[in-house]
Chain A
Amino acid sequence: MIALDKVAFRYAGHPVFTDLSLEVHSGEMFGILGPNGSGKTTLLKLLRAVIRPEAGEIRVEGAPLARLRRREVAQKIAVVPQAAAPGYPFPVDEFVAMGRYPWKPGWFGLPASGSEVEKALQVTDTSHLAAQRVNTLSGGELQRVLLARALVQDASILLLDEASSHLDLDHRLAFAHLLKALNRERGVTIVQVSHDLDLAAALCDRVLVLDRQGRIAALGTPAEVYTEEMFHTVFGAEVRIDPHPDTGAPRVCPHFF
């Protein structure tokens, strides 16, 4: 469980959050939505402990995040970044094994990683890429490999920052299936920032909508949150909401002209 209690944070003197309180339950698939500049990524950075709140407290599984050491944070929370140029040409299996670092025993031990890496590669359907170098992967492959690296961290919480938003439709759907399976079968808590409103509605148990002042504009199931009025006030967009023909999840149809 993740709990934010009266969190405040300013960025370069400019308030992003003034009083944010929120709970994400264990095993939940949680979406963070909001217009540009509403602080979605900042919220994620607070959860990653990359930045610290100026006031208030964040607790993860009961432990105050600010008190945890880096490796303890990484044992609880794994992050799937956007697929970007991966730098040095590590082979995929070694790249994924980096995720075992928080479990490294002692000062000069190497974390045992063979079976974990193999499992994560299987789950993400990347076993056939094990010996390939990461700089030769396609965008979709790299995204799955980044997910595999987060999985071997063996953390109960997974944070995603628009991890799949630049992928092609087929890869984006495959990635969504994978997240759904991880969430349902392994009980991994997943918190994701998303721009894809329809996919978030189909995927998430609950969604949070932040407005441009970093306040909670709406919080609840997609069906509760996705209203024409909310999109009007928060996003300044005129839309119609109708149910998806197969799933019944709310679907956003913007008025184009």
Chain B
Amino acid sequence: MRRQVSLRWSWWLLLPLILFLSLILSLSFGAMPLPLSALWKAIVGTSDETARTILLEIRLPRALLAILVGASLGTAGGAFQGVLRNPLADPYLLGVSGGAALGAVTALALGLPFAWALPLAAFIGALGALGMVYLVAHAHRGSTHTLILSGVMIGSLASSLLLFLLWTVPADPMRSVLFWLMGNLGTADTDWLPLGTLFTAAAFFVLWCQAPALDLLTQGEETAADLGLAVGRSRLLLLTAAGALTAMAVALAGLVGFVGLVVPHVVRLLLGPAHRRLLPASALLGASFLLLSDLVARIVLAPAEIPIGVVTAMIGAPFFLYLLRRKEGRG
């Protein structure tokens, strides 16, 4: 037991360290490489103007966005997997992805001219779909099975509406929406960063405070109630907070898949399922994972960029399979 505890402590040093190294890597690689010395000079302001501009106005905002989105998706994934008692749940399971996409395309089809129309519409669509799933499933009293099935159905409905809308929209803007849907950190308006950070921090705090409730919910509704949890109210609070985190991430960066599924899963293998640890560790690891994925997306086919969702799945899936096999092997 003592060995396990000390191992756990080392993870709290290791995970922030991984995030820090990912950040450094992400800041130094790109069309114009900035080695460590140049990076340092740019930070303290003794370098030339170009390097400083690249660092502060291009790479740093993008890296911060990656951290924000990765942390949000990791945390939301962990929370959804707890509430739904399903390790295969991801933040998009309850119609959030379909709703967000539908919102974004609606904004485009209506020709809303504002720069913030797209993320805002995606945000509203995501939360709207989740709310509808919640109501349809009578989630205040219903079972998690009903919730998941309703989520899948509402998601399908949103997707079919989406296809219909895409069919009516002219081809050119449609391409940009498709690209956006695949997940992209490059197109986001970085003016959103401060607001997004505040919002994410608030939702994370709510979830983290509710970590013991999440632990209880993994035991099933009846047992959770026997242990003193007001299940309906707690589930509403948790789904709202996790849904808002997801909606925020989608609004900022489109549908980046896989992070919310695989990161909490990996953390559970490393640190166990208790949510007081799972949520912050998933945030840290999700942020690192998205930073590195974005780095790969930017440099592999430079100057072209691969959609980041493609990269997260390409790195995430084999890594996950490796961990799974190793775990099985040890029994």
Contacts and interface: CB of A to CB of B under 8 A. Distances in A.
A and B interact physically: yes
A8 interface: no
17 contacts: A48-B222, A48-B226, A50-B225, A69-B230, A71-B229, A78-B226, A81-B226, A89-B272, A89-B273, A90-B272, A94-B215, A94-B272, A99-B227, A101-B216, A101-B229, A102-B228, A104-B212
B178 interface: no
B39 interface: no
Contact of A101 (B4, B228, B272): B228
B209 A107 contact: yes
Contacts of B4: 91, 131
A91 to B, nearest CB: 6
Contacts of A133: 272
B93 to A, nearest CB: 17
A133 B215 CA distance: 15
Q: Which residue of A48, A70, A71, A74 has the most chain B CB atoms within 10 A of its CB atom?
A: A70
Contact of B268 (A77, A86, A88): A88
Contacts of A48: 222, 225-226
A50 B227 contact: no
Contacts of B222: 48, 50, 81
Contacts of B229: 70-71, 101
A87 B224 CA distance: 13
A221 interface: no
Interface of B: 1, 4, 85, 87, 208-209, 212-213, 215-216, 218-220, 222-223, 225-231, 268, 272-274, 276
B174 to A, nearest CB: 42
Nearest to B269: A89
Contacts of B228: 70-71, 73-75, 101-102, 153
A133 B274 CA distance: 12
Given A74-B226, A87-B219, A94-B274, A101 B212 contact: yes
A108 interface: yes
Interface in A83-116: 86-91, 94, 98-99, 101-102, 104, 107-108, 110-111
Nearest to A77: B226
A190 B227 CA distance: 17
A130 B212 contact: no
B272 A91 contact: yes
A129 to B, nearest CB: 10
Nearest to A74: B228
A188 interface: no
B227 A102 contact: yes
A69 B212 CA distance: 18
Contacts of A69: 230
A110 B227 contact: no
A2 interface: no
B1 A130 contact: yes
A145 interface: no
Interface string A28-62: 00000000000000000000111000000000000
Contacts of B225: 48-50, 70
A136 to B, nearest CB: 9
A131 B6 CA distance: 13
Contacts of A153: 227-228
A176 to B, nearest CB: 22
B85 to A, nearest CB: 6
B212 A110 contact: yes
B220 A87 contact: yes
A58 to B, nearest CB: 16
A93 B130 CA distance: 35
Interface string A129-150: 0110100000000000000010
A255 B205 CA distance: 64
A65 B225 CA distance: 14
Q: Which of A49, A104, A108, A130 has the most CB of B within 10 A?
A: A108
A209 interface: no
A220 to B, nearest CB: 29
Nearest to A130: B1
A234 B243 CA distance: 53
Given A108-B209, A131-B1, A86 B226 contact: no
Given A48-B225, A81-B223, 4 more contacts: A87-B218, A87-B219, A94-B215, A101-B212
A87 B268 CA distance: 13
Nearest to A80: B226
Interface in A156-177: none
Which among B208, B218, B227, B230 has the highest number of chain A CB atoms within 10 Å? Answer: B227
B216 A98 contact: yes
Nearest to A132: B1
A142 B11 CA distance: 29
A79 interface: yes
Nearest to B272: A91
A107 B206 CA distance: 10
